[in-house]
A and B are shown apart, each in its own frame.
Chain A
Amino acid sequence: MEIKVLQKILEANEAIARENARLFKDKGVFVINIMSSPGAGKTSFILRTLEKLKNDFKVAVIEGDIASKVDAEKIREQGAPAVQINTGGACHLDANMIKNALNLLNLDDIDLLIIENVGNLVCPAEFNLGEDLKLMILSTPEGDDKPLKYPQMFTLCSVLVLNKIDLLNQTNFNVQKVRESATKLNANLQIFEVSCTTGQGINTWVTWLKNKFLVTR
């Protein structure tokens, strides 16, 4: 006997993500989900962003990337609460992990929550967390063919950060080519060129983020 099911495979995750989103909205917390390959510079990017925002906004960080366990300490040194999630070796964060991590944060005292996802550009794409903004970081040494390798990620993100732009001369990364291929997948993609080493482009990104925060909340 055949039974029609027609159920989303990840509906359980979607339901929790919606719950998270509702809670964030109630508490006026703006949430960014940061995704990249390992070593693209997620933590340095978060630290640079914190540096610029910490006087005006209350920022907290959820660290999902196992590889950067030490970095939760660096974030606390910046005066921001940081929660480390134990993903148990999973290749992505899911909405339930975020829900559990929220027990360790006081949302009434947070304006902006930054989630550092696991270093991987395939798996996190399917798992909504309840975030307002999906951001991906691509670093120049990784090569400029990423949009073609991870199209789903490019269509789902609203911000693309091109990091390590100071190393451009040492790579054959073509910024124009990436901008073109990324925009062909997602016309609304906001692209920022930054260097977390020199600080180049960070102000432009942070100014954009502040505006986004103010119109959303």
Chain B
Amino acid sequence: MHELGITENILSIALEQAQQRGAQRILKIRLKIGEMTAVVDECIRFYFEILSKDTMAAGAEIEVENVPIKVKCPKCGKTREASDYNFICPQCGVLSAEIVSGRELYVSSIEIE
């Protein structure tokens, strides 16, 4: 449900950027979304269609890059994927408190004309 608030922010970031460049239309918005955020891509697309209706972003494609969860072991320093939420290093048996990626919520780029 937090996708509504998130989508409002995506739209305003994209519109602001596009206006600064004097764009006519926004064709595509690229997002980076970490696996941990539990943000559902389909919900974003759904709200985006409604929210962008009377703006220059109407009809824009939402491209989502999902970022997997990665943690870093404090002992051996190795970074590894932990999409199963197993944060314990298989080699050292130590808990990796440092989450290196998976929390991202970014607008990475937009395509305008």
Contact = CB atoms under 8 A, between A and B. Distances in A.
Contacts of B112: 1, 3
9 contacts: A3-B109, A6-B108, A7-B107, A123-B1, A123-B2, A123-B5, A148-B85, A151-B36, A184-B95
The binding surface of chain A is classed by DSSP as: mixed
B85 A185 contact: yes
Interface of A: 1-13, 90-92, 94, 120, 122-123, 125-127, 148, 150-152, 155, 183-188
Contacts of A127: 2, 5
B61 to A, nearest CB: 13
Which DSSP category, helix, strand, loop or mixed, fits chain B's interface? mixed
B93 to A, nearest CB: 12
A184 B110 contact: no
Given A13-B9, A126-B6, A187-B95, 17 more contacts: A1-B112, A1-B113, A3-B17, A5-B13, A5-B14, A5-B17, A6-B106, A6-B107, A7-B13, A9-B6, A9-B31, A91-B1, A94-B5, A126-B105, A155-B99, A186-B97, A187-B97
Nearest to A4: B109
Contacts of B17: 3, 5, 7
Interface residues of B, number: 34
Most chain B C-beta atoms within 10 Å of own C-beta, residue among A94, A126, A127 = A126
A1 B38 contact: no
Contacts of A2: 109-111
Given A5-B13, A151-B85, A185-B87, A91 B110 contact: no
A91 to B, nearest CB: 4
Contacts of A9: 6, 9-10, 13, 31, 105-107
Contacts of B12: 12
A123 B106 CA distance: 17
B55 interface: no
B100 interface: no
B88 interface: yes
Interface string B35-65: 0111100000000000000000000000000
A122 B1 contact: yes
A127 B36 CA distance: 14
A26 B99 CA distance: 31
B38 A90 contact: no
B39 to A, nearest CB: 8
